[in-house]
Structure 1
Amino acid sequence: MLESALNPQAGKAQWIWYPGDFEMMLLLRVHSRRYERGMQITPCWHMDTFFPNIKFRRRFHLEKPVVFQVHATGEVAVEVDGGGRYCYDYQDGVRLEPGSHDLCITVFNPHELPALYIDADGLQTNGAWEASNVDSRWLPAGSWNFTSPSCPPSDFRLEMQPLQPVSVEKIGQGVLFDFGKEMMASLKGEGFKGEGILHISYGESREEALNYAECEVREDVKVTEDCFETTLPRAFRFVFLAPEGGLSAGGLTALYEYLPIENKGSFECSDDLLNRIYDTAVYTLHLNSREFFFDGIKRDRWVWGGDACQSYLLNYYSFFDSELCKRTMRALRGKDPVHQHHNTIQDYTCYWFISLYDYYLYTGDAAFLREVYRNARTLMDFCLETTDERGFMNARPEDWVFVDWAPINNKGDVSLIQILFARSLEVMALIAGLCGDENGRAFYHSLWQKCLKNCFEIFWSARYNCFTHGPAAASDAVVTKYANMFALSFGYLSEEQKAAVIQNALLNETVLPITTPYMRFYELAALCDAGCYEDVMGFLREYWGGMLRLGATSFWEAYDAAEQGAQHYAMYGRPFGKSLCHAWGAGPILLAGKYFLGVRPEAPGYEKFTVSPHLAGLAYIRGSVPTPGGAIDVFCDGEKAEVVNHTPFEGALEWKGQVVAVPPGQTVSLG
């Protein structure tokens, strides 16, 4: 069941490629499409690419003769049964007689992804083939749902839907189009008269679209006919067209570009504001779920490890698209040798390791962990190169220690980094065990214990009774929430320490507040883990509700209620630098599914699960959480809690101190 749920194309012929290279091809495309004010902006980190020369091989046995056609993206050499036995006329079909055969096919293409497709009786390309970049190392070939010989993986495109503006307003010599909500789309203009230059300014806000000089994204199009189309999708709600010369503006259609994924989760409650928050969070995540999980669709339109780590978790409670998760994780990891931390950021490398554990817990897909284990080991080797006698990972001069957008000192020892590194070592021990590497499991386990022990010795403050941001013994030691909330959620605290962290860090109003949805996501999850559900409900209404009250149609990169008017759009020293559609703003999805509906896996792939709903002052909640084996539906009001189990696994319903088993395919209630 798991195989069919995670790979619906199993059993069909598929295009195959060198593992990870499909993601490298897509990533190069994605990272080349960011333009600001006419200038291409490329990532500030090392980028890998696909290998141009790939051999594919398979040993198989035929019961009867077969003639097969070779479909490939690139130049092809077909060798049958070794010894240089090439089929020079393979274009007319290759005939093989009954018996056992060794087939080796080379595909060369320095410009596009080398890929291969064969579909014949008894001989199909699929993940059972092996691939090599001619380095004497053979790996299971990469594949996905490309099952037509006429649609190779290099033709991958997102889907498109034409959308009309909800209002059109003439302003001076130009026209402002309002499409009603945030989107990522290219433009199609029709009914234009004359010829001339059309100045196009895109805006996530009305103010941005009307400010051609300072808007983040703009372009100039030479219009010589009555219609035109732009080539790249842009993020916007508003578009302002300013024609020049003898040109008169006509109508405008947005060609909305999207990944066709369905929200398999749901949430509804007695509070309409919370329902709107949930719906907007899902829309925000969908807009940023594309070839990969993006950080934001206006800026940066790149794949960042910290943003992606949250998107995976949100995905498990909404779209449950495991392929999108794997694509993003492969893309972030890249190829060996390791040159730098993910996106040059220490903490983002740690989030990649942590994401592997989350992926396994929610999907049960151990095959993916086995696939990436070798690359995980070499990435961890890169991290271990800078560890000291305490087991702490130290920053290289070129490393960025991010933590959060906040006025904090991240020089030297930073408690959050070491807590994340400890968790990364713990995850590596788990993966090594799953892959049968007992020596590796013992090695990483000992490093994890050493690092975690020293985290408490160096950063736990007897004075503040919680973690400090830097060493607790320093004269300028200060409490921040970061290490405290992660240590709580990772289960690293005793009950006494947990209570102290909640009081002295998480709910302490003198501690530096978190203003980004990025870290507020983890803060609120930690508070829920600590049982502070009503506090979290208040934060949701205040923080995410605050954005909705300002007219947001998707959630932002950051929000500060103290700001006024157009101040809300400014960031990075630019008046419209802030992203108003950022994936890390979609955190309410997790809070709704994992904490209020209370559905969480207790064993990989939901083979065991618990449902522990929390009303947090609401009159009722209802919703659905997707799993690899089916949905788990939940309803709860003041009188009862009910679970409908559509999975093949048994779970447990916990409510008001009572616990009852939820058998597969059954409806169970308490109250």
Structure 2
Amino acid sequence: MKYFYVFALCLVFGLKPDLVQAQKASWIWYPGDFDIWMSNKMQNRRTERGSFLPPFWKMDSHYVLVDFHKEFDLDKAEEVKLYVEGQYNVKIDGQALTGYPKTISIPAGHHKLSLKVYAQDRVPSILVKGTKVVSDDTWLATFEDKEWIDASGKVSDKSGTIFVSAGSWNMTDPLMPPSKFQLPVVPAFAVNKTKQDKGLISDFGKETFGFIKLHGLKGKGKLNIYYGESKEEALSKDHCETLDLLELDISGVKDSVMALSKAFRYVNCQPEGNVSLDSVSMLYEYAPVTEKGSFACSDPQINKIYDVAKYTFHLNTREFFIDGIKRDRWVWSGDAYQSYLMNYYSFFDSPTVKRTLLAQRGKDPVTAHINTIMDYSFYWFLGINDYYQFTGDKKFIVDVYPRMKALMDYVLGRRNKDGLLEWMPGDWIFIDWADGLSKDGAVSFEQLLFCRSLESMALCADMAGDKDGAANYGQLATELKAKIFKLYWNENKHALVHSRIDGKATDNVTRYANMFGIFFNYFNPAQKLEVKQHVLLNDKVNKITTPYMRFYELEALCAMGEQDYVLKEMKDYWGGMLNLGATSFWEEYNPAKKGTEHLAMYARPFGKSLCHAWGASPIYLLGKYYLGVKPLSPGYETYEIEPALGGLQWMEGKVPVPGGEIAVYCSKKEIKVKSASGKGLLKFKSNSKPSVKGGVIVAKGNGSYELSVEKGKDYTVKYSI
């Protein structure tokens, strides 16, 4: 059975075994370790007024000793080059080679190549480059637990029956090992500079991120650099969130690049002594992702909202999906979950999703919730479920399943006597930033996320071959869902109440559980209408002021067919930020605030992030609920297109899918669609009998129609609304 993996490839691709070639050589490591190491490095770059500010949750580390191996059948001898991060030994067929060889000779025949690598300060990793002998994700890796495992922790028996993979990530340059990875940069320049006191203020025109470059720097003394997402922040020497204070003694003239990246629009440089400088530019740092999704429409303000949302999202897409580029620059699970959804309608960049999920989860044993937040553990489960639905990548689900199981075991061990979850020592119940929001008792919102997470576990357990687990998680989800409606649904309130305290339901109604219950499809049709009227469209229920939860509130309304209402809300809410001069979307926006009140948060005058990933949700809403594109089965094998103009005259856009894109145009008289993937179903309503060439429109009653969409074909539907 040791050739099982090779023969499986042959069956899939119809090749003869001796024609199966390994892919291009890449750096490999113990699965998940590079993701953890890099996230530690990135998240510990945060500073606050010049002070190092690390995360406040447990940070795991990589394994410092890793053994890699693979067996090869060679028609002829090969010269193989070895590139290694760390100290290492090399064995061919179990025989150790002397020293640290850079090139080895492997004779013709069947051979096993092994490298054991130690590194404390970086991730043990290798790149092996021969003709057939190359390193890729078909190699095996172990951290010397005497079991060969893949990214998921799946155990291989000693006969090699199960072939499993090491970790890798498209790093193929031997001279650029994982420890030297960095995002690319390009020069960028201020659009305006003004004198201020003894120095100058440089305005880069919009929110940006990167490394400041100081030109023509000279003299002895100090240079104080104050950064600001707003001009007010850059001018506030005592309260700006980020700064650099430099001691200089330069006899000549030089240019200098700051070592740490910052978020800013304005840079205020103030010299002391005889220090001077000519100007300030920057090296703009960015993630090299490809923009695949698009949206345009008849409303210029919505177009502007979409463009600024894209820019906001790209700024917060870095090595991982982070929350904000000024604060916190950390990998928060709740923020990342929304970024995953936006990603599926913009970049469709699967590697960044997987890296973020692996980095968040870390290592076993599980001793706390992700980011210490209960709801953030649940968003992690939901993120994996959604990843599968959008990409169809079953391999990742199988690989990550044991890590899912370990985290769910931790969650299940923290239930109260009623089988519900509530605060326990070490937990943070977040939900949202909202004044007066109770976190006491067993909060209904947490139970809904818990139930959806159990459903996700059942799905993934089945894919991973854990049939008993699938049945158990499915049963737990069914029981919990019934319990939620028994304990929290209030007939008089027409809604789920917010919490249970000391075993008794409160009569407080909030939006959170109720809006999630709609797009989780937990309510029956009558309950959905009750929740819509008595909660979502009820101004007496406390309003939501963060883009974070507005995301879900507007999604729930879209799921109920309220696109007209939501379009107006988008124009008021995100348009309100634009009207105040926003060049990226904020962490929080309350139209009742005035002036510099908009810049304050956390009892700090400039504490608010003015570029926050969760502010970019129109990307997702416009793609899924206006263009109307969503998968019905994993990886868009089947999908639905249900355009909703929502008051627009016309709209057009592209939604990325595995293998291409789905293009949609919709006006009041015409719908055009073309898809590069799967089998689609176009759903629409028309006041008159519609027509199409090359397809068959099926009437469904009450003015509703459907058209089957085949891969690669263009369809133009004539209709009227």
TM-score range with shorter-chain normalisation?
over 0.9
Give the alignment's TM-score, normalised by structure 2. Answer: 0.90
Equivalence for 2:689: none
Equivalent position SS for 1:224: strand
Cα shift at 1:206 = 0.4
Stretches of structure 2 that go unaligned for 5 or more consecutive residues are 1-8, 14-20, 150-164, 686-703
Moved more, 468-477 or 575-584: 468-477
Cα shift at 1:172 = 2.0
Residues in 1 aligned to 2:129 and 2:421: alpha-carbon distance in whole angstroms: 49
Residues in 1 aligned to 2:504 and 2:368: alpha-carbon distance in whole angstroms: 30
Cα shift at 1:194 = 2.5
On the 8 A contact 2:639/2:680 being kept in 1, the answer is yes
Q: Which structure 2 residues correspond to residues 190-201 of structure 1 after superposition, within 5 A?
A: 190-201=215-226
Cα shift at 1:669 = 2.4
Residues in 2 aligned to 1:222 and 1:600: alpha-carbon distance in whole angstroms: 55
1:100 to 98, 110, 119: 110
Q: Which structure 2 residues correspond to residues 107-122 of structure 1 after superposition, within 5 A?
A: 107-122=117-132
Cα shift at 1:59 = 1.9
2:597 to 537, 544, 567: 567
Equivalent position SS for 1:631: strand
| Percentage identity across paired residues of the two chains | 45
Q: Rate the CA distance shift 1:57–1:475 in 2: closer, same or farther, 3 A.
A: closer
Q: Which structure 2 residues correspond to residues 471-490 of structure 1 after superposition, within 5 A?
A: 471=500, 474=504, 476-490=506-520
Equivalence for 1:78: 90
Q: 2:175 matched to 1:150?
A: yes
Equivalence for 2:615: 585
Q: 2:450 matched to 1:425?
A: no
Alignment deviations for residues 526-585 of structure 1 (CA, whole Å, 9 cap, x no partner): 110011111100110010000000000000000000000000000000000000000000
Q: 2:339 matched to 1:311?
A: yes
Equivalence for 1:38: 50
On the 8 A contact 2:415/2:421 being kept in 1, the answer is yes
Q: Rate the CA distance shift 1:369–1:395 in 2: closer, same or farther, 3 A.
A: same
Question: 1 or 2, which has the higher strand percentage?
Answer: 2
Q: Which structure 2 residues correspond to residues 8-19 of structure 1 after superposition, within 5 A?
A: 11-19=23-31
Q: Which amino acid aligns with 2:281?
A: T
Residues in 2 aligned to 1:249 and 1:474: alpha-carbon distance in whole angstroms: 67
Equivalent position SS for 2:529: helix
Q: Which structure 2 residues correspond to residues 59-70 of structure 1 after superposition, within 5 A?
A: 59-70=71-82
Q: Which amino acid aligns with 1:666?
A: K
Equivalence for 1:364: 392
On the 8 A contact 2:296/2:652 being kept in 1, the answer is yes
Cα shift at 1:133 = 0.7
Equivalence for 2:706: 659
Aligned residues: 663
Cα shift at 1:299 = 0.3
Residues in 2 aligned to 1:593 and 1:92: alpha-carbon distance in whole angstroms: 51
Moved more, 147-156 or 283-292: 147-156
Alignment deviations for residues 1-24 of structure 1 (CA, whole Å, 9 cap, x no partner): 9x99xxxx9821111000001111
Residues in 1 aligned to 2:414 and 2:285: alpha-carbon distance in whole angstroms: 43
Alignment deviations for residues 51-79 of structure 1 (CA, whole Å, 9 cap, x no partner): 11110011222221122122101111112
Equivalence for 1:292: 320
Cα shift at 1:202 = 0.2
On the 8 A contact 1:641/1:655 being kept in 2, the answer is no
Cα shift at 1:92 = 5.4
2:285 to 237, 257, 268: 257
On the 8 A contact 1:175/1:249 being kept in 2, the answer is no
Equivalent position SS for 1:91: coil
Residues in 1 aligned to 2:259 and 2:450: alpha-carbon distance in whole angstroms: 42
Q: Rate the CA distance shift 1:90–1:248 in 2: closer, same or farther, 3 A.
A: closer
Equivalent position SS for 1:352: helix
Q: Which structure 2 residues correspond to residues 403-442 of structure 1 after superposition, within 5 A?
A: 403-406=431-434, 407-442=436-471
Q: 2:275 matched to 1:275?
A: no
Moved more, 203-212 or 10-19: 10-19
On the 8 A contact 1:162/1:253 being kept in 2, the answer is yes
On the 8 A contact 1:185/1:234 being kept in 2, the answer is yes
Q: Which amino acid aligns with 2:500?
A: P
Q: 2:37 matched to 1:25?
A: yes
Residues in 2 aligned to 1:475 and 1:633: alpha-carbon distance in whole angstroms: 48
Alignment deviations for residues 422-444 of structure 1 (CA, whole Å, 9 cap, x no partner): 00000000001111111010010
Cα shift at 1:90 = 5.5
1:527 to 529, 547, 557: 557
Stretches of structure 1 that go unaligned for 5 or more consecutive residues are none
Residues in 1 aligned to 2:648 and 2:577: alpha-carbon distance in whole angstroms: 21
Q: 2:353 matched to 1:325?
A: yes
Q: Which amino acid aligns with 1:531?
A: G
On the 8 A contact 1:395/1:401 being kept in 2, the answer is yes
Q: Which amino acid aligns with 2:45?
A: R
Q: 2:404 matched to 1:376?
A: yes
On the 8 A contact 1:70/1:90 being kept in 2, the answer is no
Cα shift at 1:339 = 1.4
Q: Which structure 2 residues correspond to residues 492-641 of structure 1 after superposition, within 5 A?
A: 492-641=522-671
Cα shift at 1:395 = 2.7
2:147 to 122, 131, 137: 137
Alignment deviations for residues 19-52 of structure 1 (CA, whole Å, 9 cap, x no partner): 0011111111112101111110011100011111
2:133 to 95, 117, 123: 123
On the 8 A contact 1:461/1:467 being kept in 2, the answer is yes
On the 8 A contact 2:321/2:336 being kept in 1, the answer is yes
Residues in 2 aligned to 1:54 and 1:89: alpha-carbon distance in whole angstroms: 18
Equivalent position SS for 1:493: coil
Q: Rate the CA distance shift 1:10–1:533 in 2: closer, same or farther, 3 A.
A: farther
Q: Which amino acid aligns with 1:520?
A: R
Equivalence for 1:176: 201
Equivalent position SS for 2:213: strand
Residues in 2 aligned to 1:241 and 1:391: alpha-carbon distance in whole angstroms: 58
On the 8 A contact 2:89/2:99 being kept in 1, the answer is no
Q: 2:273 matched to 1:245?
A: yes
On the 8 A contact 1:390/1:454 being kept in 2, the answer is no
Q: 2:235 matched to 1:230?
A: no
Q: Which amino acid aligns with 1:460?
A: W
